[in-house]
Structure 1
Amino acid sequence: MEIDEEHIKVVESRTKTGLVFMLILILSVTGCAGLRGSATTGDYSSSCKEPVVIKSVNGTFEDVWESLKMALNERGLVVSSVSHVGEMLDRTGKALNRTKQIYGQAKVMEFCSAVISRNMLERNPHFISFCPYQIMVYTLPDNENRVYLSYRRLIWRDSKDRDVLEAVERLLEGLVNDVVQEYGEYK
């Protein structure tokens, strides 16, 4: 079979089109197509942002934990449950014969906002996956005076309901920022 120049051009064109299509598909699936706005515009679409926000402050674990609870209470919210992650890892580490200390202390504060959650779940009942809201508070073994606060961004494939998720992210961000303002960001 003889291949002429016209056949080569058609194959090259289809290959380029296929590669462009694959690139667009990959970027849209990962949310990094840059089509959803930017952080500078205040858009919380989470495109190409880290899935977890991590801040740290100078202080003691107990004081920072109490300040976060106070910030929550000042908004009329209450802690619904606490996961004692650090204690669980210490306990299970012994049972597994694993001695590496991962955290100095670590807890997860879980809570809900009736208004924000209702708005979010009326829009999309599958957003229940984001409930309850969580803020992680922890220290690392090498520096007990640096306390980390972190939360997960609410990432969803469809941006049409993004506004109700933005309200949750603003709440999480506001709570963490209140603590950061009180103690000062770790430097």
Structure 2
Amino acid sequence: MLRIATLASALALTVALPVTAETAPVIYTVEDSFENVTFAVESAIVGAGLVIDHVSHVGSMLERTRADVGSDTSIFTEANIFTFCSATVSRAVMEADIANVQHCPYGIFVYETPGAPGTITVGHRAYDGSMAPVNDLLSGIVKGALASE
């Protein structure tokens, strides 16, 4: 009987969870080389006193595995995602809503496509509500990186 009550409670909690729509990312474009822009983004992150946890080389992974998955389409010339966290901003957003832990670490993506060589896209997920300080942090870093170009 306890097992049925526990299962019913878990189901009720699952059903009660809010459903949120995916928000379009914040995107900026610049005319430059991929190398220059990724260096500027990396420098802006480090310059903000943050530590880059990981650089995901998504573009090279997708290109390397293209034939393995049966595709003949090159999506990116290059694409990287820088992930990092901010103790100050993370504490503020998680004190506002503990569930904001799901968003850490934060990421900034940089990519170039075969159809637009020399046009580099830089962006990040868009956050609102209690995550607005993260949006401000990420936009500030991107704008700072692109201003140094």
TM-score range, shorter chain: 0.7 to 0.9
What are the residue-to-residue correspondences of 1:40-119 with 2, within 5 Å? 51-119=24-92
Matched-pair contact (CA < 8 Å) for 2:48–2:141: no
* Corresponding residue pairs, total: 131
Note the alpha carbon deviations across 1:123-154, whole angstroms, 9 max, x for none. Answer: 22211121111111000112321110011112
Percent identity between the two aligned chains? 33
Map residues 133-148 of structure 1 onto 2, 5 A cutoff: 133-148=106-121
**Alignment pair present for 1:181 and 2:144:** no
Q: Is the 8 A contact 1:56 1:146 kept in 2?
A: yes
Match of 1:122, SS state, is helix
What is the TM-score of this pair, normalised by structure 1? 0.65
Q: Any gaps of 5 or more consecutive residues in structure 2?
A: 1-18
Q: Structure 1 unaligned runs (5+)?
A: 1-28, 32-49, 156-161
TM-score of the aligned structures, taking structure 2 as reference length: 0.80
Question: Which structure's relative contact order is higher, taking Cα pairs within 8 Å and 6+ residues apart?
Answer: 2
Indicate the residue corresponding to 2:136 in structure 1.
170
Aligned to 2:9: none
- Read off the aligned partner of 2:140 and give its amino acid letter: G
**Equivalent position SS for 1:82:** strand
Task: Work out whether residues 43 and 145 of structure 2, in 8 Å CA contact, stay in contact via their aligned partners in 1.
Answer: no
Letter in 2 for 1:178: G
Distance in 1 of aligned mates of 2:96 and 2:83: 22
The structure having more radius of gyration, on CA atoms, is 1
What is the RMSD computed on CA atoms of the aligned residues? Answer: 2.0
Once superposed, which parts of structure 1, at least 4 consecutive aligned residues long, lie more than 3 Å away?
Answer: none
Once the two structures are TM-superposed, the CA of residue 30 in structure 1 deviates from its matched residue by: 7.4
- Which one-letter code corresponds to 2:37 in the other structure? V
Q: Is the 8 A contact 1:61 1:144 kept in 2?
A: no
> SS at the partner of 2:76?
coil
- C-alpha distance in structure 1 between counterparts of 2:54 and 2:80, whole Å: 10
